[in-house]
């Protein structure tokens, strides 16, 4: 068990949106991790858990996905429910129907909506007008379901979260870094972010994380030095230099981030038993070398698997 306290009352979470990690109390995040662990164990032991019998999840995708799409759909089926894939190219949203009307219409058919899109405000608008819980499957600003899986993976390997040090190297302004800041702060992990000048985290998200960290003991450092960030880190994390939607900047970003590759020389600064994480998809030879991502310290495929278990915990609570 990760938590040292009374569990959050599950009925309080029914209908709650999962849009950013900072929308959830730190205790509730830890409870989700405990539940994800229990669901994983149950599944590995061959048990069934049809908590969502007869429930339907709609999954709106405006960007590509392998892990998010498959893990949500499989997760719903394992919970006794089902999921419908809604590509924005195929639904009227892609032809200009408003988010407001889409939210109201879908709420009449389905019990929850997972959405992957560009502008974070689109998810907030969807949540404002839907009568069913909204789960953020990635926006330009946040990727909270991924970070829940990351925290579960760290807990499995390290046996604790509070007081560990995470280093994020690369684009500090992207969805992964933002959600890692909020996630680390929620569980009392320290986090150092190293990015080139001008690519640090968004101010409001950094402030949110710092506020959460005051209560949990998490310390946050922002630097331009990858070596300083990785110094004595327990967990080293990176992500692509150009996220979905930034394809036109790819060549320029490769130059800007050239000194921010996670490689053997950089990881010499981390603790001997450091873990490497990457949400995937990865660009080997760009943000990370093959020797690191395919090496002994890498847990990227456990991390990918844990999307399934972490998301089932979210779905079980909010639907
Ligand atoms: N990590 C992640 O969200 O992967 P997908 O883009 O494949 O969903
Ligand atoms: N930052 C990456 C994460 C992909 C899962 C992107 O947005 O493309």
Identical fold, 10-142+305-318 and 146-303: yes
Ligand 1 residue neighbourhood (C-beta within 6 Å): 65-68, 138, 146, 279-280
**Could you tell me if 68 and 117 are in contact, meaning their C-beta atoms sit under 8 angstroms apart?**
no
Distance CA 186, CA 265 (A): 30
The residues with which 18 forms a beta bridge, in sequence order, are 135
Q: For the chain, what is the HEC assignment?
A: CCCCCCCCCHHHHCCCCECCHHHCCHHHHHHHHHHHHHHHHHHHCCCCCCCCCCCEEEEEECCCCCHHHHHHHHHHHHCCCEEEEEECCCCHHHHCCCHHHHHHHHHCCCCEEEEECCCHHHHHHHHHHCCCCEEECCCCCCCHHHHHHHHHHHHHHHCCCCCCEEEEECCCCCHHHHHHHHHHHHHCCEEEEECCCCCCCCHHHHHHHHHHHHHHCCCEEEECCHHHHHCCCCEEEECCCCCCCCHHHHHHHHHHCHHHCECHHHHCCCCCCCEEEECCCCCECCCECHHHHCCCCECHHHHHHHHHHHHHHHHHHHC
Dihedral angle of Cα 19, 20, 23, 26, to the nearest 10 degrees: 130
Catalytic residue numbers, as ranges: 116, 143, 146, 239, 279, 307
Match 């994983």 to its residue by tokens.
40
Residue 28 has pLDDT above 50, yes or no: yes
**Boundaries of every domain in the chain:** 10-142+305-318, 146-303
CATH of domain 10-142+305-318: 3.40.50.1370
Query: Do strands 134-136 and 165-169 pair parallel, antiparallel, or not at all (unpaired)?
Result: unpaired
Measured by CA distance, the residue closest to atom 3 of ligand 1 is 68
Measured by CA distance, the residue closest to atom 7 of ligand 1 is 66
Query: pLDDT for 9-21, tens place per residue?
Result: 556 788 999 999 9
And the tokens for 210?
């710092």
Closest CA to 92 of 104, 81, 101: 101
Mean pLDDT, residues 203-209: 97
pLDDT: which is higher, 207 or 47: 207
For the Cβ of 242 lying below 6 angstroms from any atom of ligand 2, the answer is no
Query: pLDDT for 46-92, tens place per residue?
Result: 988 999 999 999 999 999 999 999 999 999 999 999 999 999 888 99
Match 């600003």 to its residue by tokens.
141
Task: Centre a 10 Å sphere on the Cβ of residue 225 and count the other Cβ atoms it contains.
Answer: 12
Ligand 2 center to residue 278 CA distance, Å?
A: 10
Query: pLDDT for 265-319, tens place per residue?
Result: 999 999 999 999 999 999 999 999 999 999 999 999 999 999 999 999 999 999 9
Residue whose CB lies within 8 A of the most ligand 1 atoms, among 59, 68, 242, for a mutation test: 68
Query: pLDDT for 243-264, tens place per residue?
Result: 999 999 999 999 999 999 999 9
* Predicted local distance difference test score (pLDDT) of residue 47: 86
Distance CA 269, CA 208 (A): 29
Query: What sign has the CA pseudo-torsion 14, 15, 20, 23?
Result: negative
For the Cβ of 174 lying below 6 angstroms from any atom of ligand 2, the answer is yes
In whole numbers, what is the pLDDT of the chain averaged over residues? 96
Query: pLDDT for 30-39, tens place per residue?
Result: 999 999 999 9
Residue 123 has pLDDT above 60, yes or no: yes
For the Cβ of 161 lying below 6 angstroms from any atom of ligand 2, the answer is no
Give the class (CATH, top level) of 146-303: alpha beta
pTM: 0.97
Ligand 1 center to residue 183 CA distance, Å?
A: 18
* Predicted local distance difference test score (pLDDT) of residue 6: 47
Ligand 1 center to residue 218 CA distance, Å?
A: 27
Residue whose CB lies within 8 A of the most ligand 2 atoms, among 175, 237, 257, for a mutation test: 175
Distance CA 36, CA 15 (A): 19
For the Cβ of 145 lying below 6 angstroms from any atom of ligand 2, the answer is no
For the Cβ of 239 lying below 6 angstroms from any atom of ligand 2, the answer is yes
Measured by CA distance, the residue closest to atom 6 of ligand 2 is 243
């Amino acid at each position: 068990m990760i938590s040292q306290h009374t569990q959050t009352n599950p009925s309080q979470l029914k209908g709650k949106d999962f849009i950013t990690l900072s929308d959830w109390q730190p205790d509730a995040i830890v409870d989700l991790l405990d539940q994800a662990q229990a669901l994983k164990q149950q599944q590995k032991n061959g048990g069934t858990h049809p908590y969502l019998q007869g429930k339907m999840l709609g999954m709106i995708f405006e960007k590509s996905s392998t892990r998010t799409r498959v893990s949500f759909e499989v997760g719903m089926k394992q919970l006794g429910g089902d999921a419908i894939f809604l590509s924005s190219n195929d639904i009227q949203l892609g032809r200009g129907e408003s988010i407001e009307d889409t939210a109201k219409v879908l709420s009449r058919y389905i019990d929850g909506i997972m959405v992957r899109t560009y502008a974070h405000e689109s998810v907030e608008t969807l949540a404002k007008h839907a009568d069913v819980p909204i789960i953020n499957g990635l926006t330009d600003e946040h990727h909270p379901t991924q970070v829940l899986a990351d925290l579960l993976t760290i807990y499995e390997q390290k046996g604790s979260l509070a007081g560990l040090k995470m280093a994020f190297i690369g684009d500090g302004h992207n969805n992964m870094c933002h959600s890692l800041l909020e996630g680390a702060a929620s569980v009392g992990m320290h986090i150092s972010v190293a990015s080139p000048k001008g690519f640090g985290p968004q101010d409001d998200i950094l402030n949110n994380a710092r506020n959460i960290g005051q209560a949990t003991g998490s310390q946050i450092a922002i630097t331009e030095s990858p070596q300083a960030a990785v110094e004595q880190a327990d967990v080293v994390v990176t992500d692509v230099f150009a996220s979905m939607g930034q394809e036109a900047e790819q060549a320029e970003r490769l130059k800007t981030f050239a000194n921010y590759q996670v490689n053997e020389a950089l990881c010499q600064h981390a603790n001997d038993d450091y873990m490497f994480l990457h949400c995937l998809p990865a660009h080997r030879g760009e943000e990370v070398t093959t020797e690191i991502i395919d090496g002994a310290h890498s847990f990227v495929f456990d991390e990918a698997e844990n999307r399934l278990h972490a998301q089932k915990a979210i779905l079980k609570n909010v639907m």
